[in-house]
């Protein structure tokens, strides 16, 4: 893949969407991970290349106690490197209050607690976008999309530049950026991208220990997970071809790993349907 072309397309298409819809700000919640850092670089370039548009890129780090020091440091580096305006707002107090409110009737789980954090961040970011005439940037990649690795009405936002990339391709794009675009090792953009490239991916919500891959496919890589997902999605409507691909995947990665990944994909199918799910008018009206 030509990552120069990928990056240039993401920058130009984002700029086009902003101007077409008369939006003035891009608002991004930075986690310190590779997805939000790469998205921050894209937003930075949009502003830098369009000074006449008076665009602004606002970045906010919204940690809770489950975010590691490494993640928080990486998020701050990315904000400092790429944002026009940025700050840190710790949401631990708000999370504890909302969790206690929710638990008055039903006990929470690790998953539901993580969803509370994601939805609190959504409220905060959308308020900024509302009062500044902007949009909230989405940072989910294609791998996360097909695994359901996101929270409905939480970390799904308005516009996603990297949504067409598999996770291993996001890594490749990040590497391109610090090797070919922001190459000065003494400058903040290079340092931010390098830090994000090396950080262990997590959801930042404390849902499970060990990072994302510990949940998805322990002992494997994103490139291998992407191979499983892509192969299944491309062949699932052709029984014979799908069976051949599954045999290859089982041999390469182990049947248990393949089933673990595909089970997560199948169980999250409801997330990928158009929301809200509505009763079709044709069922009750001519």
Residue 197: count other Cβ atoms within 10 Å of its Cβ. Answer: 17
How do residues 127-167 score in pLDDT, each as one tens digit? Answer: 999 999 999 999 999 999 999 999 999 989 999 999 999 99
Residue 236: count other Cβ atoms within 10 Å of its Cβ. Answer: 14
How do residues 30-50 score in pLDDT, each as one tens digit? Answer: 999 999 999 999 999 999 999
Exposure string over 70-103, b if 16+ CB within 10 A, otherwise e: ebbebbbbbbebbbeebeeeebeebbeebeeeee
pTM for the model stands at 0.93
Strands (DSSP E) contained in 63-191 are: 85-88, 134-136
Closest among 231, 262, 233, 263 to 245, alpha carbons compared: 231
Exposure string over 271-286, b if 16+ CB within 10 A, otherwise e: beeeeeeeeeeeeeee
The dihedral through the CA atoms of 77, 81, 87, 90 has a sign that is negative
The H or E element that residue 28 is part of is strand 25-29
**Alpha-carbon distance values, 256 to 180, 239, 253 (Å):** 39, 20, 8
How do residues 226-281 score in pLDDT, each as one tens digit? Answer: 999 999 999 999 999 999 999 999 999 999 999 999 999 999 999 988 778 888 88
Is the per-residue pLDDT at 202 higher than 90?
Answer: no
CATH fold of 3-198, please? Rossmann fold (3.40.50)
**Which two three-digit tokens encode residue 184?**
């000065």
As annotated, the residues of the chain forming the CATH 3.40.50.620 domain(s) are 3-198
Per the listing, tokens 């206690």 go with 100
């Amino acid at each position: 893949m030509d990552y120069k072309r990928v990056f240039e397309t993401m920058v130009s298409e984002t700029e086009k969407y902003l101007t077409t819809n008369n939006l003035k700000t891009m608002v991004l919640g930075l986690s310190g991970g590779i997805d939000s850092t790469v998205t921050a670089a894209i937003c930075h370039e949009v502003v830098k290349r369009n000074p006449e548009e008076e665009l602004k890129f606002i970045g906010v780090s919204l940690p809770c106690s489950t975010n590691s020091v490494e993640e928080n440091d990486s998020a701050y580096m990315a904000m400092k490197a790429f944002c026009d305006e940025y700050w840190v707002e710790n949401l631990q107090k708000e999370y504890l209050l909302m969790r206690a409110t929710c638990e008055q009737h039903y006990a929470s789980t690790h998953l539901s607690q993580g969803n509370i954090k994601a939805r609190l961040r959504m409220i905060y970011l959308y308020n900024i976008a509302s009062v500044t005439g902007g949009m909230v940037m989405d940072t989910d990649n294609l791998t996360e999309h097909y695994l359901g690795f996101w929270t409905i009405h939480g970390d799904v936002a308005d516009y996603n530049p990297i949504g067409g990339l598999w996770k291993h391709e996001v890594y490749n794009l990040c590497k391109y950026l610090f090797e070919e675009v922001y190459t000065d090792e003494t400058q903040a953009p290079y340092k931010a991208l390098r830090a994000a490239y090396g950080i262990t991916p997590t959801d930042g919500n404390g849902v499970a220990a060990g990072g994302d891959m510990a949940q998805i496919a322990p002992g494997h890589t994103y490139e291998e997970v992407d191979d499983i997902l892509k192969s299944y999605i491309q062949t699932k409507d052709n029984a014979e071809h799908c069976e051949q691909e599954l045999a290859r995947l089982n041999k390469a990665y182990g049947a248990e790993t393949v089933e673990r990944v595909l089970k997560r994909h199948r169980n999250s199918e409801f997330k990928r349907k158009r929301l809200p799910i509505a009763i079709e008018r044709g069922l009750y009206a001519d």
